[in-house]
Amino acid sequence: MVHVQHLFKQYKNTEKPSVDDLSFSFEKGTIVGLLGPNGAGKTTTISILCGLIRAYAGDVNVLGMNLKSNTEELKYKIGVVPQQIALYPELSCKENLIYYGKLYSLSGKVLTEKIHTLLQQFGLLEHAD
């Protein structure tokens, strides 16, 4: 599902690469942890895999597609839970879900039903508004 070969990333105006010749693969249905000390290059690697950093060397394949030539398509298929909370405190629970659902091109009945299902699943129905 994810194949990374010889990944290399060096930020501008830095003396050494942040990711240097990193290769790994994992298959569908697996849960994988990327471990390493502060500054090891974890965030850089994840940012590349999510299509947020475009300037890198090496080959990244996600779901059988080359990441560089299919970045926009793959972004629809990738979900990220960031380290910092990424909800809008000025929006209600439901409004947050509408916003994120629309980013994934959901609308109408599909969006409404999905939001209802998720609020129910997470015990948040009574806090929707």
Ligand X SMILES: Nc1ncnc2c1ncn2[C@@H]1O[C@H](COP(=O)(O)OP(=O)(O)O)[C@@H](O)[C@H]1O
Q: Which residues bind ligand X (CB under 6 A)?
A: 11, 14, 18, 36, 38-44
Q: Considering the complex, state which of residue 35 and residue 55 has its C-beta at the smaller distance from Mg ion.
A: 35
Q: Considering the complex, state which of residue 29 and residue 82 has its C-beta at the smaller distance from ligand X.
A: 82
And the tokens for 126?
């009574």
The CB-nearest residue to Mg ion is 43
Distance CA 9, CA 74 (A): 20
- Contact flag: residue 43 with Mg ion (CB under 5 A): yes
Q: Considering the complex, state which of residue 14 and residue 121 has its C-beta at the smaller distance from Mg ion.
A: 14
Closest separation between CB of residue 22 and ligand X, Å? 11
Between the alpha carbon of residue 100 and those of residues 17, 39, 79, 92, the distances in Å are 34, 30, 11, 12
And the tokens for 14?
């830095």
Number of residues that bind Mg ion (CB under 5 A): 2
Distance CA 47, CA 11 (A): 13
Q: Would you give the binding string for Mg ion spanning residues 23-42, x where CB under 5 A is met?
A: -------------------x
- Contact flag: residue 47 with Mg ion (CB under 5 A): no
41 binding partner (options ligand X, Mg ion, none; Cβ < 5 to 8 Å by kind): ligand X
SS percent in the chain: helix, strand, coil, step 5 = 35, 20, 45
Q: Give the list of residues 6+ apart from residue 65 with CB closer than 8 angstroms, or none.
A: 73, 74
Contact residues: Mg ion, CB under 5 A:
42-43
